[in-house]
Amino acid sequence: MEFGRIIVSETAFNSENPQDIINSNISIINLMREEGVADEAIHDDALMSYYLDFYVSQYTQGNFAQFVYNSGWNKELNELIEEALTILGAEKQLEFFQQQAKKVRLMSSVKLNKFLKGKLEGVNPIRDLLNDNTFFDLDENLVELNANFLKSHPDFEALPIEEIFTTLEELVGHEIKRN
């Protein structure tokens, strides 16, 4: 059974920083997972936002090679990111992601596996080949698009923290420890 809601805290919803909404969604998904909720039961679009943020944060911290390396170049994840970019209307980012993905697909599986099993730091020609700063020049702000996607979603709710815990406790069937 899927949890049919995308929940964030009221504090995040009222924040000026769009990343706060995304981070709140991530925190709630992480809490659900810690409490044994399977990904299949988490709202698909909440997960899509979660994984798009993973892509954006990996890219901003260490460029495309870091995303490839830390994701293990996962086919399902890549499809989810393409779907997210399409839904958000981020056409330039989608086209760029597809160009970058083509670089990886053109690489031999031996070369890719060597890259994934090796070290990202130091001398790394594959890393250097994959990295491309065009991502930062595109005028589509994925953080804003992602946050607005969540806020405008028909299943979206902003709740006080205590109500979030109560809602999730009903879902998991036991009390959740508050830190």
pLDDT in tens, the chain (179 residues): 568 899 999 999 999 999 999 999 999 999 999 999 999 999 999 999 999 999 999 999 999 999 999 999 999 999 999 999 999 999 999 999 999 999 999 999 999 999 999 999 999 999 999 999 999 999 999 999 999 999 999 999 999 999 999 999 998 999 998 87
Integer Cα distance of 151 and 83 in angstroms? 18
Other beta carbons within 10 Å of 113: 12
Q: Is the pTM of this model over 0.85?
A: yes
User: CA dihedral in degrees (11, 15, 20, 24; nearest 10)?
Assistant: 20
Buried b (16+ CB within 10 A) or exposed e, 67-102: bbbebebeeeebebbeebbeebebeebbebbeebbe
Distance of CA 118 to the CA centre of its chain: 24
Q: For residue 81, give the nearest of 96, 97, 60 by alpha carbon.
A: 97
Q: At what angle do helices 75-87 and 91-105 cross, to 10 degrees?
A: 160
Which residues make beta-bridge pairs with 159?
9
